[in-house]
């Protein structure tokens, strides 16, 4: 198919299929290239229309209702609840309940106990009576699952704040943890940055053990109304579980005898640590959970709600709220403007939008302004490295991430910015920072270097998901791809990354997806990286990956993978077809040279066929990953940017063809 560029929008549009007569232009009736070009035009117009005037894109970031429930619990704890918020939050939480009375942690998933407990309590705060049918179904299911005693630690911490659970029956987390030197096991820098930001304020909460008057009892959520502490047998003393269980018992004893001066000093040190990391917008790390616990911790230390730190913190939490047309209020766990903007820029450029298009230039300008040029927590392990990364959120200077930085560089390379010197300086600084964050095994993690200690995950307290940040295939692949396009395909650091990726390939041919669901994401990320460094499509690793992707294509032509693939092998590569996952598979296959394959044609037709009239795609399924299985994300912009990227590469070819970075 021949395509032309419409200079007014930058969209690729197919030439007329016929000079005379009536032509059926439905995706099923025309060839795959024509169907793809038609979808590109509509998708490009849709995406360009969604750009903010400042140059960024941001889709809603949906998780599960614990964000909404904990927001109401925080307001209850601080005494700042209001009827409008209660009603709007209740409307959203109620709307997410399933027919069996439960709430799931992702669309289509099974009922989840802790999520259901927190949602139930939030609806009680919103005014729902326990004998209403939807509430009775929920409480009955909770009791069947073992009640509050079987919930995760974080859920029971929230209940302990109101006396619905006993602090003595929670794992201990002393603030003296901050005194551990950086080389000592279980120092705070052994935790991933998201866990670190949450744990430090929780050490204050754990030390203070506050109890505010409960607005109602919760007897109906206990399997035994006497609230028994479930007695679990200790693991053998020679096992790591046994060691950490006994350590927790010792810490409970220390809580009773801790010298007051030492404890007070430790809490003050924790408070200073928290305040030093508050961002300019009042938030912490750009994510909701650390902000919530930081506000509680500082309030317990005597900071009143009008104090500038707390006032800014509470205002920042309000910015996580998404108000819907029906009056419901959803809380985002975080916001993703940098990530969304670089992905949108890549998608539009690969779809044929001119590199000097005003909206791409504006996007590049905004991204350049978001580069972080001061040290953060990452510099604990890399003290001599010059800053230069990008974060995920609007404001998060303490925690730039390697994945965003790689993709921002790839996006900036697609734009002809009028200030070339500024662009080159920013890219060089970002590349230097990213390569400097390589872990000793040759791979890259999301935020830190060598954050691989086996101990944090062993703590009884840490049952809420991944608490360390080891290197992953998807992040490593993005860095390798970036390095290749910067002319560094043969750089020893890049080659070590490639070697690590090849060693990490699963026997069936795919790669694990840490930050996206799951092997489809990992494989769709790695294949473009391998070919970018010059690996031929005939390489055995690439052929195995291609064969696997083709083997898991759905009968309808799309690809999908359920979040349960993180726990159950039978779900690997299997699930309802989604726009984002179909695009990931296509991106991988196209990089491997499979443009003319039947699998690619079927995938392209699926995307063209399922596109909505406004140029967008619908995707209720969660394809993003916070913590594998434990915390899942529906990035609302994924369904738009990745299909456009895949279709653009199908029509226009692979980006950066022939760049000097591609090695032999």
Catalytic residues, by residue number, are 403
Rounded CA separation 80/72 (Å):
9
Whose tokens are 């026997």? That residue is 507
Tell me the C-alpha to C-alpha distance, in Å, between residue 425 and each of 6, 141, 420, 429, 436.
32, 58, 9, 6, 17
- Two structure tokens written together for 551: 């083997």
What is the separation of C-alpha 299 from the centre of its chain, rounded to a whole number of angstroms?
29
Give the CA distances from residue 373 to residues 283, 342, 390, in Å, rounded to whole numbers and listed in that order. Answer: 19, 19, 9
Q: Specify whether the CB–CB gap between 423 and 345 falls below 8 A.
A: no
**According to DSSP H, which parts of 145-282 are helical?**
153-160, 193-208, 240-257, 260-276
Alpha-carbon distance 309 to 304, whole Å?
A: 9
- Asked if 334 contacts 287 with a C-beta cutoff of 8 angstroms, the reply is yes
Contacts of 658 (CB under 8 A, 6+ apart): none
Rounded Cα–Cα distance for residues 75 and 85 (Å): 10
Distance CA 159, CA 282 (A): 26
| Contact criterion met (CB below 8 Å) for 34 and 374 | no
How far is the first Cα of the chain from the last one, in angstroms, to the nearest whole number?
A: 30
C-alpha span between 107 and 212 (Å, rounded) = 34
On the 0-12 / 13-18 / 19+ scale of CB atoms within 10 A, 327 is: exposed
Given the DSSP bridges, would you call strands 61-62 and 11-14 parallel, antiparallel or unpaired?
unpaired
**Distance separating alpha carbons of residues 653 and 645, to the nearest angstrom:** 11
What is the H or E stretch that residue 61 is in? strand 61-62
Sign of the dihedral through C-alpha 384, 183, 631, 70:
negative
Neighbours of 280 (CB within 10 A): 10
- Integer Cα distance of 288 and 437 in angstroms: 26
Q: State the angle between helix axes of 308-318 and 66-78 in degrees (0 to 180), rounded to the nearest 10.
A: 150
Q: In sequence order, which residues have a C-beta less than 8 Å from that of residue 212 and are 6 or more positions away? A: 76, 77, 161, 162, 163
SS3 content of the chain, % helix, strand, coil (to 5): 50, 5, 45
Residue 338 near residue 393, CB atoms below 8 Å: yes
- Chain centre to alpha carbon of residue 38: 31
């Amino acid at each position: 198919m021949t395509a032309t560029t419409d200079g007014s929008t930058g969209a690729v549009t197919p030439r007329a299929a016929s000079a005379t007569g009536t032509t059926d232009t439905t995706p099923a009736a025309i060839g795959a290239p024509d169907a793809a070009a038609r979808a590109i035009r509509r998708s490009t117009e849709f995406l360009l229309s969604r750009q903010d005037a400042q140059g960024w894109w941001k889709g809603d970031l949906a998780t599960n209702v614990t964000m909404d429930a904990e927001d109401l619990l925080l307001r209850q704890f601080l005494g700042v609840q209001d009827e409008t918020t209660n009603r709007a939050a209740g409307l959203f939480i109620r709307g997410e309940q399933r027919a069996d009375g439960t709430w799931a942690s992702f669309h289509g998933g099974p009922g989840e106990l802790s999520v259901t407990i927190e949602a139930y309590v939030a609806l009680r705060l919103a005014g729902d009576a326990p004998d209403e049918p939807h509430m009775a179904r929920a409480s009955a299911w909770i009791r069947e699952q073992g009640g509050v005693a079987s919930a995760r630690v974080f859920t029971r911490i929230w209940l302990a704040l109101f006396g619905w659970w006993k602090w003595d029956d929670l794992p201990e987390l002393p603030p003296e943890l901050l005194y551990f030197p950086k080389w000592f096991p279980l120092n705070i820098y052994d935790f991933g940055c998201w866990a670190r930001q949450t744990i430090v304020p929780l050490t204050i909460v754990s030390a203070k053990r506050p109890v505010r008057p409960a607005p109602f009892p919760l007897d109906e959520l206990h399997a035994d109304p006497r609230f028994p502490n479930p007695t679990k047998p200790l693991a053998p003393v020679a096992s790591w579980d046994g060691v950490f269980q006994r350590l927790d018992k010792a810490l409970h004893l220390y809580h009773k005898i801790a010298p007051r001066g030492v404890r007070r000093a430790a809490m003050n040190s924790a408070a200073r640590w928290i305040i030093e990391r508050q961002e300019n917008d009042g938030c912490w790390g750009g994510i909701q959970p650390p902000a919530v616990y930081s506000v509680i911790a500082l309030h317990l230390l005597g900071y009143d709600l009008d104090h500038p730190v707390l006032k800014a913190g509470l205002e920042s939490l309000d910015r996580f709220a998404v108000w819907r047309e029906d009056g419901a209020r959803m809380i985002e766990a975080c916001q993703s403007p940098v990530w969304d903007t670089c992905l949108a820029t890549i998608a539009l450029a690969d779809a044929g939008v001119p590199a000097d298009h005003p909206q791409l230039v504006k996007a590049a300008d905004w991204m350049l302004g978001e580069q972080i040029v001061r040290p953060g927590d990452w510099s604990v392990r890399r003290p001599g490295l010059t800053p230069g990364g990008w974060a995920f959120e609007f404001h998060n200077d303490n925690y730039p991430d390697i994945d965003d930085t790689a993709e921002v560089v790839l996006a900036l390379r697609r734009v002809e910015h009028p200030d070339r010197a500024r662009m080159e300086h920013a890219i060089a600084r970002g590349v230097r920072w990213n390569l400097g964050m390589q872990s000793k095994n040759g791979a890259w993690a999301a935020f830190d270097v060598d954050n691989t200690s086996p101990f944090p995950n062993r703590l009884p307290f840490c049952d809420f998901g991944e608490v360390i940040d080891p290197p992953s295939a998807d992040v490593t692949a993005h860095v390798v791809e970036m390095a290749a396009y910067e002319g560094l395909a043969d750089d020893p650091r890049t080659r070590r990354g490639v070697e690590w990726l090849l060693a990490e390939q699963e026997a069936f041919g795919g790669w694990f997806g840490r930050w996206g669901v799951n092997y489809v994401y990992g494989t769709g990320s790695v294949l473009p990286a391998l070919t970018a460094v010059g690996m031929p499509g005939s390489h055995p690793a690439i052929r195995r990956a291609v064969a696997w992707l083709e083997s898991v294509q759905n009968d309808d032509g799309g690809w999908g993978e359920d979040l349960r693939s993180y726990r159950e092998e039978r779900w690997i590569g299997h699930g309802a077809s989604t726009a984002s996952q179909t695009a990931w598979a296509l991106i991988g296959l196209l990089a491997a040279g499979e443009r003319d394959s039947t699998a690619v044609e079927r995938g392209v037709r699926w995307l063209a066929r399922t596109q909505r009239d406004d140029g967008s795609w619908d995707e209720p399924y969660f394809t993003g990953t916070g913590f594998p299985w434990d915390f899942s994300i529906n990035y609302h912009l994924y369904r738009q940017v990745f299909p456009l990227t895949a279709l653009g590469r199908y029509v226009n070819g692979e980006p950066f063809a022939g760049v000097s970075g591609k090695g032999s």
